[in-house]
Every structure is written in C-alpha cells, then in structure tokens.
C-alpha cells in the first residue's frame, strides 16, 4: 500500500475556492472508482495550504490511474480551474507503508 500526498498552496484570497474544487476532484475520483481522498488544511506553514492524501494498492496501480484520470473530463476540467488558483504547482510525495 502507498499513499500519494499532494500539497496545494493557493494564491492569497483563493483558498476557499481551491478547497471547494479539491472536494470536486475527490468526488470525481470516487465516481471513477478510485479510493476517496482525505483532505486536510494546515494550521502552520503557508496560509490556506491543503494536503490531500489518497491510498493506492501499489505504485503500479497509481501510475495506471494517472493515465485513466487524464482521460476523465469530469476530473481534468476541474484541474483547469485549480491551476490558476495556485501559488506554484502542487507538490507530490509518495509514501510507502513501512
């Protein structure tokens, strides 16, 4: 099992809209048959930062999903709205269960 963790830092004043869109992406992932995401707000660090964790069976399963997700308009169209709200591109970490 792995956890893919993405960290999103919004531009000032866009955190609320970013949170709503991240929830839409999470819902779209569930609708597409993937595991639900856990969405966290940070209380330290950059203001409005969101951390999204999603569990995957394996790295291979995650990699295969990336190709399929890029072809799922309900998800990619929301990312078109997310990217302009970000201070910088999101940061991705892959955590391996020890």
Confidence (pLDDT) at 68? 85
Confidence at 57, pLDDT banded by 50, 70, 90: very high
Tell me if 7 sits within 8 A of 87, measured CB to CB: no
- How confident is the model at residue 48, as a pLDDT? 92
Alpha carbon separation from 31 to 17, 49, 56, 61 (Å, rounded): 21, 25, 16, 17
Show the domains of the chain with their CATH numbers. Answer: 2-96 (3.30.70.100)
Q: What is the pLDDT of residue 83?
A: 95
Name the pLDDT band for 27 (thresholds 50, 70, 90).
very high
Residues counted in the chain: 98
pLDDT band at 71 (very low <50, low <70, confident <90, very high): confident
Assess contact for 82 and 25: CB atoms under 8 A: yes
59: which 2 tokens? Answer: 């790295």
- Is the pLDDT at 50 greater than 90? The verdict is yes
């Amino acid at each position: 099992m792995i956890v893919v963790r993405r960290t999103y830092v919004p531009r000032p004043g866009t955190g609320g809209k970013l949170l709503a869109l991240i929830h839409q992406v999470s819902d779209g992932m569930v609708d597409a048959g993937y595991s639900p995401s856990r969405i966290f707000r940070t209380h330290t660090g950059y203001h409005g930062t969101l951390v999204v964790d999603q569990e995957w069976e394996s790295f291979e399963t995650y990699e295969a999903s990336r190709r399929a997700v890029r072809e799922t308009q309900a998800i990619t169209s929301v990312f078109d709205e997310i990217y302009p709200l970000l201070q910088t591109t999101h940061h991705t970490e892959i955590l391996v269960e020890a």
